[in-house]
Amino acid sequence: MNGILNVFKPAGITSYDVIRVVKKVSGQKKIGHLGTLDPLAEGVLPLFLGKMTKLIPHFNLDDKTYQVQARFGARSTTLDREGELTPVPIPETCTCITITTALNGFVGESEQVPPMFSAVKVQGKKLYEYARKGETIDRKTRRIKIHWIKNVACGLPDLSFEVHCSKGTYIRSLVHDLGVQTGTGAYLTGLTRTRAGRFFTDGNAIKLDKIKLFNKIDLQRHFIDPQYLFTEWNQITTHSPDTIDHLGQGRSISVEPDTLCLSEKGKQFSKCLVKDQQHRLIAIGRLEFSQDGHGTFHPSNVLI
């Protein structure tokens, strides 16, 4: 079974627990996703089943949006409420005004240190493997970008806000750094991923409890048409079995003008998909034009 499914992961389980459920319903063993959510977190977890896993690289760098809950007055070994908490005084200088000002200061590009309890690999081991042994090691900073922070609600010791950030941003670290910057401690108490890229939102995500009741046909009905994810790309529609066979072998094909629908970006935009007469996605790749206007499609990912 091949498809794309946007699942709403509940808090209290791992991302792999979600995948395990979908594997059981679908019978498909090969499933990938667009970014792990910690057990504490809930929200959007897009899954790619079977051959659709080939499409993951086209979305894996997309930005994410989160709803964040934090608490001041303590530091956590894991930077969230699941770790060991150490109380820290909240000074008089730490007010909702100073917190909001400091929080807005994180907007833009910066360097962030990954938390010790994370899956980042150092010297062949994941950081959490060191952390579970009580070890702390040096970590390289990562370049991240906070696009915006809004809907800030402060009522000390609690804080909530919405953040739109680049892939690889650790919200736990953001909250911890905010506590340090305001002269106290802060840790994550709740996290909801509301959006992954342009197309996967909490509005079109399917609850896991609902999926548990599905059969294979029910599951397929909730698959996202992959063409919906490539609306800005050029499109080729082929009716030729020979052309489909060539693409299945990973070979480039000549493009007939009557099979091509250019995007608004025109011939200068090389990204292109190929679908068959049943409108099923066959391949994605690069469209190239010669000086005489002849078009050639070069597949990068074949889905048949």
Neighbours of 210 (CB within 10 A): 12
For residue 119, pLDDT beyond 80: no
One-character DSSP codes across 259-292: GEE--TTGGG--EEEEEETT--EEEEEEEEE-TT
**Which among 38, 80, 218, 258 is annotated as catalytic?**
38
- Domain positions in the chain are 3-62+198-224, 64-185, 227-302
Q: What is the mean pLDDT of residues 52-66?
A: 90
CATH architecture of 64-185: 2-Layer Sandwich (3.30)
Q: Does domain 227-302 have CATH number 2.30.130?
A: yes
pLDDT value, residue 50: 95
To the question of pTM greater than 0.85 for the whole model, the response is yes
Which listed CATH number (3.30.2350.10, 1.10.10.1100, 3.40.50.1360, 3.40.50.620) goes with 3-62+198-224? 3.30.2350.10
- The whole-angstrom separation of Cα 195 and Cα 142 is 22
* Per-residue pLDDT reduced to its tens digit, 191-220: 999 999 989 999 999 999 999 999 999 999
pLDDT value, residue 103: 97
- The whole-angstrom separation of Cα 125 and Cα 41 is 24
pLDDT value, residue 264: 82
Question: What's the mean pLDDT when you consider all of the chain?
Answer: 92
292 is catalytic: no
Can you say how many angstroms the Cα of residue 48 is from the centroid of all Cα atoms in its chain? 12
* Per-residue pLDDT reduced to its tens digit, 36-52: 899 999 999 999 999 99
pLDDT band at 114 (very low <50, low <70, confident <90, very high): confident
Neighbours of 24 (CB within 10 A): 11
Q: Which of 71-75, 230-234, 266-270 has the highest mean pLDDT?
A: 71-75
Of all residues in the chain, the percent with pLDDT exceeding 70 is: 100
For residue 154, pLDDT beyond 80: yes
